[in-house]
Amino acid sequence: MHNSVKNLLLIKDQIEKYNSNIDIIAVSKTFNQNDIMPLVEFGHMHFGENKVQEAQDKWPKIKMQNNNINLHMIGKLQTNKVKFAVKLFDYIHSVDNIKLAKKIAEEQKKINRDLKIFIQINIGNEEQKSGINKSELKEFYLKCSKEYRLNIIGLMCLPPSNKNSVLYFKEMEELNKFIGLKKLSMGMSADYLDAIKYGSSHIRIGSKIFGSRN
C-alpha cells in the first residue's frame, strides 16, 4: 500500500472515535500526479489545492476520468481567476470579499454550476491574513446568500500559526451556530484533532498525508 494511503487510513481510524462524518480533504498543493494517483485509485474523493493555475495543470484529466472527485479551492482566489476556478472546483473555502462573491455568482450562472462555498473568517484578526472580520460576518453572509444566491455551507479559518488553535476553533463553532450554518472547514496536519472536537466537518490535511513539502 502506498504511503499516502496508509497515512490517510491512520487519520481516518483516529478521527472515527470522535466523529465518523468528517470529510478529509487531501491537500495536494506542490505534489504531482504521481503522488496523487494512489489516493485517487484507492477511492479517496476530496482533494484541495491553493492555486488555480496549479490545479488546472493537474486536475482536469484526473477529474474527467474519476467523476466522483470533489476538488476544493482552499487558497486566496483572485477575481480574474474565478472564471477558471468555477469550472474546475466543486468547493471554494476562501470567499472573503463582495467583489469575489459577485464574480463567482456571475461565472456560475454562465455555466450553470452551483459550488459549495465557505466564508473565510480572519479569526485571529491578523493584519496579513485573508478572511473577513467577525463583526462583518452577518452582513456579508446575508449579502452572499440573499443577493448573490451563493450556496454558503459554512465557515473556514486558518488560525494564527504560532498559537494554540483551540480557542479559535471554539470561537468558530460559536460563530457558525450564531449564523445558522452547518459546516466548518478547519484543522490541518498539526491541529485537526482539536478542530474536530469543536465541530469541524472538513479537515484540510497536506503534509500528514503526502509528506513534507519542499
Ligand X SMILES: *Cc1c(COP(=O)(O)O)cnc(C)c1O
Identify the residue among 4, 7, 28, 50 touching ligand X (CB under 6 A). Answer: 50
Q: How far is the CB of 147 from ligand X (least distance, A)?
A: 27
The neighbouring-strand residues paired with 72 are 48, 91
Q: How far is the CB of 122 from ligand X (least distance, A)?
A: 13
Alpha-carbon distance of 5 to 44, in angstroms, equals 9
Alpha-carbon distance of 68 to 64, in angstroms, equals 9
Residues that bind ligand X (rule: CB under 6 A) add up to a total of: 14
Q: Judged by CB under 6 A, which stretch of 8-16, 56-64, 173-181, 186-194 contacts ligand X?
A: 186-194
Q: Judged by CB under 6 A, which stretch of 65-73, 101-109, 134-142, 199-207 contacts ligand X?
A: 199-207
Q: How far is the CB of 173 from ligand X (least distance, A)?
A: 18
Contact 118, 93 (CB under 8 A): yes
Question: What are the grid coordinates assigned to 153, written together?
Answer: 455551507
- Between residues 125 and 207, which has the closer beta carbon with respect to ligand X? 207
| 155 scored as a contact of ligand X (CB under 6 A) | no
Residue closest to ligand X, measured at CB: 206
Query: How deeply is 121 buried, as exposed, middle or buried, from its count of CB atoms within 10 A (0-12, 13-18, 19+)?
Result: buried
Distances (CA, A) of 211 to 29, 43, 64, 119, 194: 11, 19, 26, 28, 21
Identify the residue among 74, 92, 175, 196 touching ligand X (CB under 6 A). Answer: 74
- Between residues 76 and 143, which has the closer beta carbon with respect to ligand X? 76
Identify the residue among 24, 55, 59, 75 touching ligand X (CB under 6 A). Answer: 75
Identify the residue among 160, 189, 193, 197 touching ligand X (CB under 6 A). Answer: 189
**R_g over Cα of the chain:** 17
Q: Judged by CB under 6 A, which stretch of 4-12, 56-64, 123-131, 203-211 contacts ligand X?
A: 203-211
DSSP assignment of 139-193 = HHHHIIIIIS--EEEEEEE---TTS-SHHHHHHHHHHHHHHT--EEE---TTTHH
Alpha-carbon distance of 124 to 168, in angstroms, equals 7
Q: How far is the CB of 149 from ligand X (least distance, A)?
A: 25
